[in-house]
Structure 1
Amino acid sequence: MAKALQWIRSLVFVVQMYLAMAVLAVIYIIPAIITRDAAYAAVRTYCRYVRWSARWMVGLRTEVRGEIPRGEVLIGSKHQSFLDIIMIVSVVPKPKFIMKSSLRRAPILGWFAMRIGCVPVDRGKRGAAVRRMIADVERGRAAPGQLIIYPQGTRLAPGVIKPYKVGTYVLYRETGQSCVPAATNVGLFWPRAGLMRKPGLGVVEFLPPIRPGLDQGAFMSRLHDEVETASDRLLAEAGFGVARG
């Protein structure tokens, strides 16, 4: 009975979450056309609303730990579900992503993503897109901000092991920016697929930045070890055991 009730709560939460997206899009569309700052306000307001509504509707509390990245930096984050995106965007000043080109056509989400400076990338053309993004920032045509990247390239369930892709190092090298590792445990409560949302404490933790200048081996090793170690600690804190072999 308790599980069925939680599933119903989860369904209601998901439905109202997307309705809220539509309502906020209507409220913010004109201001966002006029100024990019309004687009940032729109996505930040939405993400904070989702965090607030998750707390009282499904018992899912959220907490962001560590120093919030500001200025022009990379954020190399563990990615377990939509919730880690929501939590990061809710706190950083000017978030942007390298996203799949097809997302430009997504209703509401696609337009606002482009408005805040996300970079659409066709499969196999990531390098060219990154070079164009860097050039646009330098020429003043694109807004600087916090570029959020997922070193493993996709959402993964807690405890699943997948190699870190070298593309993260390419961004670190080409931009000359610090990279802030970010760990999470949110997949325990908000899975990568399905409707069920579980009560508990979902955490995203920003770790000390990796300064520019490391070579590929040193950077990739440090990023992997810091993100995985911290994510395992957060999973253990929530009662989930992780075995690394």
Structure 2
Amino acid sequence: MAVLQTLLAVFRSILFTIAFYGGSVPIVIVAFIVLPFSRHRLQGMARGWGMYHYWCAWAFLGIRVRIEGPLPQGQVLYAIKHESFFETIELLRIFNRPAVVAKIELSRIPLWSQIARTYGMIFIDRAGGAVALRNMMTEVRRFVAEGRSIVIYPEGTSTPPGEQPPLQAGFAGLYKLAKLPVVPIALATGHLYPRRGFIKRPGTVIYRFGEVIPAGLPREEIEARVHAAINVLNDPARLENSN
């Protein structure tokens, strides 16, 4: 039975890969054409791409999404646990045109990186020191002034389920600069849609929106509260029971 389930998961993962990446190519091409003319349309296309990814995951992988807690209203700083590629596209579907802090490596993807920058991707070089941090803050200040919410993965990178690395130093600086309330989001995605590995499995992906944390708290307090809140679902034993 286990072998049959694995073979089925491989087959479904192949179908998903063909459908999602094959369908993404024309979306990227059209977005590149639209790029010089309308940032608003580009933001709409980004949300459409997120919805297409969700449909592919639902139709081919058997992945469902459950959101726990109310979605916040207004401009906020989203601090999100990061376990896989899944949530990086989902946030385009769930949130309203958020600006997203992402690792600098993504800026080296031809064509796509130009679209991402125009949409509102803020690329950060974690090895770039003070200069990279200042550049990120300049971009954040601009998007906050435009009324957009900001998304950051405060632990800095994707981690396997069960791991709880400390927050990166840049999070506290961004929190202080943005002067926005923080919405911490715990999630469980990596057990179904692993950050590395081709095979994906059916089940329920969970996003849990935590209590809104006000702006202006001391660094130690905001870091402790965010770290605790984004890791409340990080229990491997519980994940086994959620499939």
Question: What's the TM-score, normalizing by structure 2?
Answer: 0.88
* Counterpart residue type for residue 232 of structure 1: N
CA shift for structure 1 position 237: 5.8
Distance 2:30 2:132 in 1: 34
Structure 1 runs of 4+ with >6 Å offset: none
Deviation by residue 1:116-138 (Cα, 9 ceiling, x = unmatched)? 12122233234212331244347
CA shift for structure 1 position 233: 6.5
Partner of 2:137: 131
Please state if 1:21 is matched with 2:24.
yes
Partner of 1:212: 215
CA shift for structure 1 position 206: 1.9
* Counterpart residue type for residue 95 of structure 2: V
Q: Secondary structure of 2:34's match?
A: helix
Deviation by residue 1:68-89 (Cα, 9 ceiling, x = unmatched)? 3454321110000010112222
Distance 2:211 2:171 in 1: 17
Deviation by residue 1:145-199 (Cα, 9 ceiling, x = unmatched)? 1211111111011102311223211111111111110110001100010111100
Q: Secondary structure of 1:90's match?
A: helix
Count of matched residue positions in the alignment of Structure 1 and Structure 2: 236
* Counterpart residue type for residue 219 of structure 1: I
Question: What's the TM-score, normalizing by structure 1?
Answer: 0.87
Partner of 2:112: 109
Residue pair 1:25, 1:42 contacting (<8 A) in 2 also: no
- Relative distance call for 1:235 and 1:164 in structure 2 (3 A) is farther
Please state if 1:34 is matched with 2:37.
yes
Distance 1:102 1:91 in 2: 24
Which of these residues, 91, 96, 108, is aligned with residue 93 of structure 1? Answer: 96
Instruction: Give 1:1-245 correspondences, 5 Å limit.
Output: 1-122=4-125, 123-124=127-128, 125-137=131-143, 143-229=146-232, 231-232=233-234, 236=238, 239=241
- Relative distance call for 1:79 and 1:222 in structure 2 (3 A) is same
Distance 1:100 1:221 in 2: 23
CA shift for structure 1 position 224: 1.2
Distance 1:91 1:112 in 2: 20
Residue pair 1:84, 1:204 contacting (<8 A) in 2 also: no
- Relative distance call for 1:59 and 1:118 in structure 2 (3 A) is same
Deviation by residue 1:95-124 (Cα, 9 ceiling, x = unmatched)? 222223342231343122111121222332
Residue pair 1:70, 1:146 contacting (<8 A) in 2 also: no
* Counterpart residue type for residue 57 of structure 1: F
- Relative distance call for 1:238 and 1:204 in structure 2 (3 A) is farther
Residue pair 1:189, 1:198 contacting (<8 A) in 2 also: yes
CA shift for structure 1 position 12: 2.2
Identity of aligned residues (%): 25
Distance 2:208 2:109 in 1: 29
Structure 2: 5+ residue runs without aligned partners? Answer: none
Higher mean C-alpha displacement, 32-41 vs 177-186: 32-41
Distance 1:66 1:208 in 2: 9
Q: Could you say what the CA RMSD is over the residues aligned between the two structures, in angstroms?
A: 2.2
* Counterpart residue type for residue 138 of structure 2: R
